[in-house]
């Protein structure tokens, strides 16, 4: 049995691991899974399990479990967002008030500042103080640890100064308070995180708008007393063996076998083949493929939610949740910086206490001021500000990026995998041209007649011929028409009989073909005959997108390029040769694509179809065409809205530039503070220069402004 909940309060993969560990301790669970992206906890259990116990355990480590109610959750989300906004704005306003009050003289000023700073430190800064504790117990540190150390040092020292002024003066400790530092440190970092979340939400919202409603119901047919009854049944209630009918243009709802009807079904999103496949009695159907020109009645082979399509979707969900999160650059630097700062603080303390022979109190005060000054609050802004500007700029250019970590990953890419159909090619068959046979004269009237005939057929090859001819011809009215599925069509106009179809069909009508040379072609050949005499052929293939070659040329030097497809060898090789891509992988199933992607590290995949979704989900960086299937878009990190590859080049260049800016930001956020460490440590005390709060604030202000200003340079990209 399965059970799922929504999890509230997760911020990173450390939270996800903690929850998984906690829940796994409970007896009777077969599997426990935490999905960070979807914010879901899923468990499988054999017998009755106490759900309240699970909820309590998760609550005890600081997270809340909520039931997956449809209407409810969207309302909760709205109020949660407002609350988050309110919290951030309050913290910033409080920080500004505390800072502003320093300039006003009034009685008991310091007590007021203490009063205001306490909620700042304990409420707004709660998660950072937790990080300090985690550091003290487990030794792991991140940017949050640094923030916690700095704000706590500032707060405790300042509180001590206010509450025990006699001890301070007796020991000649610097009587300075750093309350505004507490405010700024926390408010800046909160603001940075807020910016990051906002950028992510914006991308997600734009993507949700792209999704069309896919059919959630199927038309089930029952024979009751010779009367045929149709009922609509939800997909997850469809059972194996049910008889289902689909009309032209509808999505096949579940895997099955055809009982009645004949139709061309578009399986390109599943297999990559751009030309629809004829399905007739006993043919297999795949859920997710799109029915063509005729009705089909088929028997469901599996239950509604067990189709191959569902297998792929759950694979995608699992892949996304077990994806390792890259350690962000800011955290990497912090994990080195924290021990370094602590070491310097201890050295400072030791120097004053043991060597300089100063009192414990004074030595401690220098230690504290080192911790305060070394806390680079701009560090929390370094990455988010750059990410926000970069993703904003990208979306203005039609590239939707789901988060900052994708930019970091993109800068390390070595191998790029391109799906063929719909990514490098247009995704549907188009007429390349018409070739006359041996001096056959074809009149405009002939083509008008051919147009009339192909307009009568819904076959995709007929449609491509129709699109091709309609530019210069007008379809004639027909006297008769006949279509043989899988073979061709014929029609009569004013006693002239035209036949349009494949070689097999025309041969079966005794039309002379052998004396004509029909050359080999990687796409489809459609022959046209008039009154049993061959006129010529239409050459039809899935065209390569016009800018594909240019983009491949641009990328060849820097990256290893691959083409991967489920389509047949000749078609894939043709495209690869045309574009100059050396690594060719053809006739791959969706899961074979997964194995291929996994075999190369630092990979990027570009795709559009449902059959690409599993591979997109495991790729380090995944890019979906906005013109492709919803499943591919939702499995991907980046969406190219207009479905054009020129944006890929732009995205890669933008990522590299953004990483450069982030590194510059990190440097700037550290340098000002680092330069002031000697001052904080008391090196210049003989010159009566020590760290006054105004230096700390100044350092924070300058570094933050530099970081923001530097990030804004990305606006020009």
Partner 1 sequence: MKTMEFEVSGMKCSGCSSKIFNTISEMDGVVEVSVSHDDNFAKIEFEEQKIKSLEFKTKIEELGFKVLKMKKV
Which residues participate in catalysis according to the annotation?
A: 419
Q: Closest approach of Cβ 236 to partner 1, in Å?
A: 25
Draw the binding track, 256-275, toward partner 1 (x: CB under 8 A; -: no contact). Answer: -----xx-------------
Q: Is there a contact between 366 and 349 (Cβ–Cβ < 8 Å)?
A: yes
Is 226 one of the binding residues for partner 1 (CB under 8 A)?
Answer: yes
Task: Examine residue 243 and tell whether it contacts partner 1 (CB under 8 A).
Answer: no
User: Can you tell me the distance from the alpha carbon of 419 to that of 581, in angstroms, rounded to the nearest whole number?
Assistant: 12
In the list 245, 402, 420, 593, the residue contacting partner 1 (rule: CB under 8 A) is: 245
Taking the alpha carbons at both ends of the chain, their separation in whole angstroms is 52
Contact between residue 183 and residue 117 where contact means Cβ atoms under 8 Å apart: yes
Q: Is 227 in the site for partner 1 (CB under 8 A)?
A: yes
* Residue 68 near residue 35, CB atoms below 8 Å: no
- The size of the interface with partner 1 (CB under 8 A), counted in residues, is 24
Q: Which residues contact 312 (CB under 8 A, 6 or more apart)?
A: 590, 610, 611, 613, 614, 631
DSSP reduced 3-state for 442:
coil
Nearer to partner 1, 147 or 500 (CB): 500
Our finding on whether 77 is near partner 1 (CB under 8 A) is: no
Asked if residue 442 binds partner 1 (CB under 8 A), the reply is: no
The Cα-based distances of 455 to 356, 434, 523 in angstroms read 97, 17, 21
DSSP string for residues in 671-693: HHHHHHHHHHTTTTGGGT----H
Q: Considering the complex, what minimum distance in angstroms separates the CB of residue 548 from partner 1?
A: 35
716 near partner 1, rule: CB under 8 A = no
In the complex with partner 1, which residue's Cβ is closer, 296 or 714?
296
Distance CA 221, CA 243 (A): 5
Residue 639, SS3?
Answer: strand
Binding mask of the shown chain, residues 183 to 222, with x at each position contacting partner 1 by CB under 8 A: ----------------------------------------
Tell me if 462 contacts partner 1 by CB under 8 A.
no
**458 near partner 1, judged by CB under 8 A:** yes
Check binding of 482 to partner 1 (CB under 8 A): yes
Q: Where are the beta strands (DSSP E) in 545-656?
A: 560-564, 583-585, 603-607, 621-625, 638-640
Beta-bridge mates of residue 605 = 417, 622
β-bridge partners, 564: 419, 585
Residue 351 binds partner 1, judged by CB under 8 A? no
Q: Which of residues 402-441 bind partner 1 (CB under 8 A)?
A: none
Supply the minimum distance, in Å, between the C-beta of residue 8 and partner 1.
47
Residue 387 or 453 with smaller CB distance to partner 1: 453
CB of 483 to partner 1, least distance (A): 5
- How many angstroms separate the Cα of 259 from the Cα of each of 263, 487, 660? 12, 21, 61
Give Cβ neighbours of residue 295 (< 8 Å, ≥ 6 apart): 245, 246, 247, 248, 261, 263
Of 52 and 227, nearer to partner 1 (C-beta) is 227
Binding span for partner 1 by CB under 8 A among 288-296, 329-337, 534-542, 590-598 = 288-296
Q: How far is the CB of 326 from partner 1 (least distance, A)?
A: 52
Told to check if 455 binds partner 1 by CB under 8 A, we report yes
Q: By C-beta, is 280 or 325 nearer to partner 1? A: 280
Nearer to partner 1, 75 or 228 (CB): 228
Q: Which two tokens stand for residue 659?
A: 């990483």
**H or E, element range at 587:** none
Of 226 and 517, the one with the shorter C-beta distance to partner 1 is 226
Per the structure block, which two tokens stand in for 301?
């082979």
What phi, psi does 640 have (nearest 5°)? -95, 105
- Beta carbons of 277 and 461 less than 8 angstroms apart: no
Q: Is 467 in the site for partner 1 (CB under 8 A)?
A: no
Q: How many CB atoms neighbour CB 582 within 10 A? A: 11
CA distance 349 to 233: 74
Q: To the nearest 10°, the Cα dihedral for 275, 281, 284, 289? A: 50
- Among residues 61, 133, 484, 705, the one that binds partner 1 under rule CB under 8 A: 484
Residue 486 touching partner 1 (CB under 8 A): no
Q: Is 476 in the site for partner 1 (CB under 8 A)?
A: no
Residue of the chain from 89, 118, 294, 395 that contacts partner 1 (CB under 8 A): 294
Q: Which is nearer to partner 1, 327 or 479 (CB)?
A: 479
**Which residue lies nearer to partner 1 by CB, 261 or 678?**
261
Q: Which is nearer to partner 1, 61 or 484 (CB)?
A: 484
With binding defined as CB under 8 A, does residue 278 bind partner 1? no
Angle, CA of 155, 9 and 28, to the nearest 5°: 130
473 is an interface residue for partner 1 by CB under 8 A: no
Among 247, 360, 675, 698, binds partner 1 (CB under 8 A): 247
Q: Residue 248, interface with partner 1 (CB under 8 A)? A: yes
- At 1, is the secondary structure helix, strand, or coil? coil
Using CB under 8 A as the binding rule, whether residue 393 contacts partner 1 is answered as: no
Q: Which residues of this protein are in contact with partner 1, per CB under 8 A?
A: 226-228, 245, 247-248, 261-262, 293-295, 455-456, 458, 477-485, 492
């Amino acid at each position: 049995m399965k059970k799922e909940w929504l999890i509230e309060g997760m911020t990173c993969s450390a939270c996800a691991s903690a929850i998984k560990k906690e829940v796994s301790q409970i007896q009777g669970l077969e599997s426990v899974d935490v999905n960070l992206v979807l914010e879901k906890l899923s468990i499988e259990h054999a017998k009755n399990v106490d759900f309240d116990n699970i909820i309590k355990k998760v609550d005890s480590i600081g997270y809340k479990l909520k039931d997956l109610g449809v209407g409810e959750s969207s309302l909760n989300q709205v109020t949660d967002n407002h609350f988050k906004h309110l919290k951030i704005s309050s913290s910033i306003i409080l920080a500004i008030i505390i800072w502003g009050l320093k300039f006003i003289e009034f009685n008991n000023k310091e007590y007021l500042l203490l009063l205001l700073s306490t909620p700042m430190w304990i409420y707004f800064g709660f998660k950072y103080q937790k990080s300090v504790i985690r550091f003290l117990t487990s030794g792991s540190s991140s940017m949050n640890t640094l923030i916690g150390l700095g704000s706590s040092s500032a707060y405790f020292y300042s509180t001590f100064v206010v509450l025990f002024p006699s001890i301070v003066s007796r020991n000649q400790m610097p009587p300075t308070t750093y309350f505004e530092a507490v405010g700024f440190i926390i408010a800046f970092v909160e603001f940075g995180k807020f910016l990051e979340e906002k950028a992510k939400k914006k991308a997600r919202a734009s993507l949700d708008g792209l999704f069309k409603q896919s059919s959630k119901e199927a038309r089930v047919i029952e024979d009751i007393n010779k009367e045929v009854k149709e009922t609509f049944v939800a997909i997850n209630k469809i059972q194996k063996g049910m008889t289902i009918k689909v009309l032209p243009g509808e999505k096949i709802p579940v895997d099955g076998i055809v009982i009645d009807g004949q139709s061309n079904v578009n399986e390109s999103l599943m297999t990559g083949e751009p030309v629809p496949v004829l399905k007739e009695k006993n043919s297999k159907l795949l859920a997710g493929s799109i029915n063509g020109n005729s009705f089909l009645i088929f028997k469901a082979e599996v239950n509604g939610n067990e189709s191959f399509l569902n297998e792929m979707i759950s694979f995608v969900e699992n892949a996304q949740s077990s994806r390792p999160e890259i350690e962000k650059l800011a955290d990497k630097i912090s994990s080195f910086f924290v021990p370094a700062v602590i070491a310097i603080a201890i050295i400072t303390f030791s120097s004053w206490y043991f060597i300089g022979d100063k009192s414990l109190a004074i030595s401690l005060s220098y230690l504290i001021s080192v911790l305060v000054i070394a806390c680079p609050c701009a560090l929390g802004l370094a990455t988010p500000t750059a990410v926000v500007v970069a993703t904003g700029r990208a979306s203005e250019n039609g590239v939707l990026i789901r988060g900052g970590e994708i930019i970091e990953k993109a800068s390390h890419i070595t191998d790029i995998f391109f799906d063929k159909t719909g990514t490098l090619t247009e995704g549907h068959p188009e007429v390349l041209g018409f070739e006359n046979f041996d001096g056959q004269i074809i009149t405009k009237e002939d083509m008008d007649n051919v147009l009339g005939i192909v307009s009568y057929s819904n076959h995709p090859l007929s449609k491509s011929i129709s699109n091709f001819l309609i530019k210069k011809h007008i379809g004639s009215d027909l006297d008769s028409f006949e279509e043989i599925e899988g073979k061709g069509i014929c029609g009569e106009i004013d006693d002239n009989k035209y036949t349009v179809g494949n070689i097999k069909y025309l041969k079966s009508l005794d039309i002379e073909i052998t004396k004509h040379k029909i050359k080999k072609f990687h796409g489809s050949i459609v022959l046209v005959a008039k009154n049993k005499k061959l006129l010529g052929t239409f050459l039809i293939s899935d065209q390569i997108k016009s800018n594909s070659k240019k983009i491949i040329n641009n990328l060849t030097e820097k990256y290893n390029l691959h083409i991967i497809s489920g389509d047949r060898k000749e078609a894939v090789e043709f495209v690869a040769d045309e574009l100059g891509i050396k690594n060719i992988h053809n006739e791959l199933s969706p899961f074979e694509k997964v194995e291929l992607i996994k075999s190369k590290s630092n990979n990027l995949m570009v795709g559009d179809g449902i059959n690409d979704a599993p591979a997109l989900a495991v790729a380090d960086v995944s890019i979906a065409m906005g013109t492709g299937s919803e499943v591919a878009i939702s499995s991907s990190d980046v969406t190219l809205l207009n479905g054009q590859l020129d944006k890929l080049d732009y995205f890669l260049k933008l990522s590299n530039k953004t990483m450069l800016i982030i590194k510059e930001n990190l440097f700037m956020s550290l340098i000002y503070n680092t330069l002031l460490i000697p001052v904080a440590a008391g090196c210049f005390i003989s010159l009566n220069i020590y760290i006054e709060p105004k230096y700390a604030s100044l350092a924070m202000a300058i570094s933050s402004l530099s970081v923001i200003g530097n990030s804004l340079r990305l606006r020009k990209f």
